[in-house]
Amino acid sequence: MSHWMFHCDDVSQKISQSMDTVLPFNQRMAVWMHLLMCRYCYRFRQQLMMLRRMSRAVGNGSTCAQAEDMLSHAAKERMKKKLDASS
């Protein structure tokens, strides 16, 4: 199959893979040519980018609770006791 003739199933895999590694030049070109013509693969790529941005936000704590949401002294003491018993 010519690299210019990727189908959506192949392209979707390449789009996903391109988020984890650098694709060879010919594959990058083939994917971009396909994206120019296929709005569903374009949407798929947009979705994966959004999924990544929001997942990273989940991971970096940018959606934490308010500062006043802290553990009570009693809760901390309970935890210490359990940790002491388990270690």
Partner 1 sequence: MEGKQEINPEAWVDEYGDVLFGFALARVKDRETAEDIVQETFLAAVRARERFKGQSSEKTWLFGILKHKLVDHYRKNKSTVHVQDFIQDPDSLEVFFNAKGSWQIRPENWRADPGKSQENREFLDHFYRCLSGLSQKTADVFAYREIEGLSTREICQRLGITSSNCWVILYRARMLLRRCLEGVGFGKKHGGDIT
Q: Tell me whether residue 29 or residue 75 sits nearer to partner 1 (CB atom).
A: 75
H-type alpha helices, the chain: 8-18, 25-37, 39-60, 73-86
Q: Tell me whether residue 25 or residue 65 sits nearer to partner 1 (CB atom).
A: 65
List residues near partner 1 by CB under 8 A. Answer: 7-10, 12-13, 16-17, 19-21, 40-41, 43-44, 46-48, 50-59, 61-67, 69-71, 75-76, 78-80, 82-84, 86-87
Question: 38 CB contacts (<8 Å, ≥6 apart)?
Answer: 8, 11
